[in-house]
Amino acid sequence: MNIIDNDNISKVLEILKIEIKKFTVPIVSEVAADRDPYKVLISCILSLRTKDEVTKKSSLKLFERADTPVKMIDLNETEIQQLIYPVGFYKTKAERIIEISHKILEEYEGKVPNTIEELLKLKGVGRKTANIVVTLAYGKPGVCVDTHVHRISNRWGYVTTKNPIQTEFALRDKLPEKYWIEYNDILVTYGQNVCVPISPKCSICPIDSYCPKIGVLRHR
């Protein structure tokens, strides 16, 4: 059986880096283009359990009104709810955004923390979001793992893990560090468009010959 391991991971990722250029990049990566840690953090929070197109519209609407912690706390929860609707759990997220903005101002001198350890102290921020902020906003090494990264890494046989947190630490041990930051973008984009959860589009996949398709029951 074919398997993707460190003998061919570089070749596979270089192929996919070219392939994903035909697709739209994840909204958080789009927001991160200007390296604004606060906007990256807030867009990550909005993106949780929400489709990219919804996250994009809601992020743009919110940032038109408030793109810094100072501006954000001038809004009340109801205003934020209205701006970010219909993202998933919009009421809870509005509350979290206000809380996080206050904490950044009160405990971090208005600057978003630049370490995973400090970011995890912000209510509602998990390892996925912390890694995205550290990597995309600050350009520091980190491995962001969402459902696509977890699924595809296991589908390839590159790791054998049960959840995204296990996958993150397995990748930190195995994946060449030069790919850490871009690994998430590559796999998320590919996972949304080709290597989808159910019935992946293997017939059009340029790395099909490398992939063992672990756990795939049917494919197109």
Domain ranges of the chain: 9-24+142-204, 36-137
pLDDT (0 to 100) of residue 219: 95
CATH class for the domain made up of 36-137: mainly alpha
pLDDT (0 to 100) of residue 204: 97
pLDDT (0 to 100) of residue 199: 96
Structure tokens at 134: 């550290």
Q: Which of 67, 90, 70 is nearest to 80 (CA)?
A: 90
CB of 86 closer than 8 Å to CB of 80: no
What does each of the 220 residues of the chain score in pLDDT, given as a tens digit? 688 999 999 999 999 999 999 998 887 888 877 889 999 999 999 999 899 899 999 999 999 999 999 999 999 999 999 999 999 999 999 999 999 999 999 999 999 999 999 999 999 999 999 999 999 999 999 999 999 999 999 999 999 999 999 999 999 999 999 999 999 999 999 999 999 999 999 999 999 999 999 999 999 9
Q: Which residues of 131-141 are buried (b: 16+ CB within 10 A; e: fewer)?
A: bbbbbbbbeee
Is the CA virtual torsion 197, 202, 207, 213 positive or negative?
positive
Q: Which of 220, 176, 166 is nearest to 198 (CA)?
A: 220
CATH of domain 9-24+142-204: 1.10.1670.10
List, by residue number, the catalytic residues. 128, 146
The reply to whether domains 9-24+142-204 and 36-137 share a CATH topology is no
| Helix, strand and coil percent figures for the chain, each rounded to 5 | 60, 0, 40
- CB under 8 Å to 185, separation ≥6 — which residues? 20, 25, 26, 29
pTM (2 decimals)? 0.91
pLDDT (0 to 100) of residue 1: 60
Please report the DSSP string for 71-138 in residue order.
Answer: HHTTS-HHHHHHHHTTSTTHHHHHHHHHHHHHHHHHHSTT----SHHHHTTSTT--HHHHHHIIIIIT
